[in-house]
Chains A and B, each alone.
Chain A
Amino acid sequence: MTGVFELVVKGLALGSVYTLVALGFVVVFKATGVINFAQGALLLLGAYLTSAAAVGWGLPFPLAVAVAALGAVAFALVVERLVVRRLQGRPAVAVVMATLGVAIAADQVVTMVWGFGPRHLDDPWGAGSVRVAGVVLSQVDVAALVVGAATAAGLAAFFRGTRLGLALRAAASDAEAAAALGIRPATVSRAAWALAATVATLAGVLLASGPGAAVPNLGEQALRAFPAVVLGGFVSLGGALAGGLAIGVVEVLTARYLPGQELVVPYLAMLAVVLVRPDGLLAPREARRL
């Protein structure tokens, strides 16, 4: 029987991936007020581009991931310029529907180019496992924990210590005052989409590596991070982190003790939170933070 501790670590690893997806939602929402349903498409694209670069072109895996991230960023910037910015000033629901449209179109393009079969990423960890302090962990889970922690730390440093990070936080706090300080709304929007594409690529790579593979419904798996976003109150990076880890652990424990219910329970948790605390669990304290 698998120990509870192992399950929790596995849940935290899955939660790290959900955190990456949730961070993408939060960054775009905070900076531009748009719930970006194309986040799943960015993740899908990142995974398939990594497969193309690693397997197709034979690039070393880290380089393949970097190339894929650049490709996803380029796609995000095109969407931001051609779709989102043109809808500026329209009701938010129009922009949200447009991102949903982009997601559906991108799904089709990915299957047109790469077909329906699974695509492997040639990742260095494969299906192997390691033993740490008597606990057996799959290598991809270790990778997820490391990448998740490094990304969270990197984003925290970015928002704390760089001008672009400060500009994004200022715009999230008060768009009018930020513009009066010379912070261009277009720059903020582009930076947010580029960040979202980068973290989406990392999430896509983690979901599609190890025993997994890039498959057409990978983007839908990204929506499983949505309860994490809601739990975190949509606005705080800390909330996305806490929400993502919590959903990951709940999903893995449910899969073990209530098999078959693991996809339902996170949404039930989300529903319960929304009914009791409509602004999310962390919102009152964290609402003004990015």
Chain B
Amino acid sequence: MTALVLEIDGLELRFGGVTALGGVTFAVAGGECVALLGPNGAGKTSVLNCVSGAVRPTAGRIRLGGRDLDGVPAAQRAGLGVARTFQSPAVVEALDVGGNLLLGRHSRLRAGLVAGALAFPTARREEADARRRAAAIAQALGLDPGAAAAGLPAGARKRLELARALAGDPALLLLDEPFAGTSAGEQEVMAAAIRATVEGGAAAVVVDHHLDAVLALATRRVELDRGRMATTGAAP
């Protein structure tokens, strides 16, 4: 079996007297795609928020490639290979598609930001590579790098956010309702891109209400109910 990418152990998240997560435990190996299922309020997005570092869990452990993520800020987790999308797509509207995709490679660029601003040759080469990679991903997801992000319809925004997450060659992909508001055709294109990344060795956790689409993609399912583990098992 491939090495575990993500290990979640006894994850708890409480806001005052409200328990959002009460002991969630599961692991995802490289090459695996887990469907995280459950009704509204089950805590699916809370799990993604804890893993990406947007919120700090009250208790429990999260490991990425064996490394404990406790106290590691969100931006640093991106550098370690965690990429995520949001329920309502967080595309930067002031930028075009290409600019958004370049941001997706931000955590992968080695040259410093100041070297980049001063256009040092190494930084320029790296940025040219990033642009080529961004263009390839844009094409795979049917996006025009020159299009303004602000004018994109809902489905295209979802594709853009997915493309941005894939642009960083993530080790762990966290997708929060990637298929919401997309057409069947778009879902096919997106699923193919996600599958290719997972087959390339990444681990993925997908939350979505489009059960057919997400179960066709997933290799395993984890079900939550009111913040607790309900069932786990094979995807179908």
Could you tell me which A residues sit within 8 Å of B by CB distance?
Answer: 158, 162-167, 169-170, 173-174, 176-185, 187, 191, 288-290
Given the known interface contacts A166-B103, A173-B93, the answer about A180 and B117 at a Cβ–Cβ threshold of 8 Å is: no
Q: In whole angstroms, what is the CA distance A218 to B118 when docked? A: 32
Closest 3 CB pairs of A and B: A182-B107, A182-B78, A177-B90
Rounded to whole Å, the gap between the CB of B233 and the closest CB of chain A is: 29
On chain B, the residues within 8 Å of A177 by CB distance are: 86, 90, 92
Q: In whole angstroms, what is the CA distance A169 to B93 when docked? A: 10
Q: In whole angstroms, what is the CA distance A166 to B99 when docked? A: 7
On chain A, the residues within 8 Å of B164 by CB distance are: 181
Q: Say whether chain B's binding surface is mostly helix, strand, loop, or mixed.
A: helix
Given the known interface contacts A167-B113, A179-B73, the answer about A288 and B95 at a Cβ–Cβ threshold of 8 Å is: no
Q: Which parts of B66-84 form the interface with A (CB within 8 Å)? A: 73-76, 78-79, 82-84
Most buried by A among B86, B113, B116: B113
On chain B, the residues within 8 Å of A162 by CB distance are: 116-117, 119
Q: In whole angstroms, what is the CA distance A179 to B54 when docked? A: 8
Q: In whole angstroms, what is the CA distance A12 to B113 when docked? A: 34
B45 within 8 Å of A by Cβ? no
Q: In whole angstroms, what is the CA distance A165 to B119 when docked? A: 12
On chain B, the residues within 8 Å of A163 by CB distance are: 102, 106, 109, 113, 116-117, 123, 127
B18 within 8 Å of A by Cβ? no
B168 within 8 Å of A by Cβ? yes
On chain A, the residues within 8 Å of B106 by CB distance are: 163, 166-167, 181-183
On chain B, the residues within 8 Å of A173 by CB distance are: 90, 92-94
- A187 adjacent to B113 (CB under 8 Å): yes
For chains A and B in complex, what number of residue pairs have CB atoms within 8 angstroms? 90
Q: In whole angstroms, what is the CA distance A165 to B127 when docked? A: 14
Q: In whole angstroms, what is the CA distance A290 to B95 when docked? A: 10
Q: In whole angstroms, what is the CA distance A179 to B76 when docked? A: 8
Given the known interface contacts A162-B116, A163-B102, A187-B113, the answer about A182 and B79 at a Cβ–Cβ threshold of 8 Å is: yes
- A191 adjacent to B92 (CB under 8 Å): no
Q: In whole angstroms, what is the CA distance A158 to B117 when docked? A: 7
B114 within 8 Å of A by Cβ? yes
On chain A, the residues within 8 Å of B93 by CB distance are: 173, 288
Q: In whole angstroms, what is the CA distance A144 to B127 when docked? A: 34
Q: In whole angstroms, what is the CA distance A178 to B52 when docked? A: 12
Rounded to whole Å, the gap between the CB of B38 and the closest CB of chain A is: 22
Given the known interface contacts A166-B102, A174-B90, A180-B84, the answer about A191 and B113 at a Cβ–Cβ threshold of 8 Å is: yes
Q: Which of B52, B92, B116 interacts with A180 by CB under 8 Å? A: B52
- B54 adjacent to A184 (CB under 8 Å): no
Rounded to whole Å, the gap between the CB of B157 and the closest CB of chain A is: 12
On chain A, the residues within 8 Å of B31 by CB distance are: none
Write the chain B residue with the least CB distance to A163.
Answer: B116
B53 within 8 Å of A by Cβ? yes
Given the known interface contacts A164-B117, A170-B92, A173-B92, the answer about A185 and B103 at a Cβ–Cβ threshold of 8 Å is: no
Most buried by A among B52, B82, B117, B127: B117
On chain A, the residues within 8 Å of B74 by CB distance are: 176, 179-180
- A164 adjacent to B113 (CB under 8 Å): yes
Q: In whole angstroms, what is the CA distance A185 to B54 when docked? A: 13
Rounded to whole Å, the gap between the CB of A165 and the closest CB of chain B is: 7
Write the chain B residue with the least CB distance to A165.
Answer: B117
Rounded to whole Å, the gap between the CB of A239 and the closest CB of chain B is: 13
- A181 adjacent to B107 (CB under 8 Å): yes
Q: In whole angstroms, what is the CA distance A288 to B86 when docked? A: 19
On chain B, the residues within 8 Å of A178 by CB distance are: 75, 103
- B113 adjacent to A181 (CB under 8 Å): no
Q: In whole angstroms, what is the CA distance A191 to B112 when docked? A: 13
- B75 adjacent to A176 (CB under 8 Å): no
Beyond A166-B99, A288-B94, 15 extra complex contacts between A and B, CB < 8 Å = A158-B117, A163-B113, A164-B114, A164-B116, A169-B92, A178-B75, A178-B103, A179-B53, A179-B74, A180-B90, A181-B75, A181-B103, A182-B78, A184-B76, A289-B94
On chain A, the residues within 8 Å of B86 by CB distance are: 177, 180
Rounded to whole Å, the gap between the CB of A172 and the closest CB of chain B is: 8
Q: Which parts of B150-177 form the interface with A (CB within 8 Å)? A: 150, 164, 168
Q: In whole angstroms, what is the CA distance A211 to B91 when docked? A: 49
Rounded to whole Å, the gap between the CB of B165 and the closest CB of chain A is: 9
Q: In whole angstroms, what is the CA distance A181 to B102 when docked? A: 10
- B94 adjacent to A169 (CB under 8 Å): yes
- B75 adjacent to A183 (CB under 8 Å): yes
B104 within 8 Å of A by Cβ? yes
* 19 sample A-B contacts, Cβ–Cβ < 8 Å, listed by A number: A162-B117, A163-B116, A163-B117, A164-B114, A167-B106, A169-B94, A169-B95, A170-B95, A170-B103, A173-B92, A178-B75, A180-B83, A181-B168, A182-B75, A182-B76, A182-B78, A191-B113, A288-B94, A288-B150
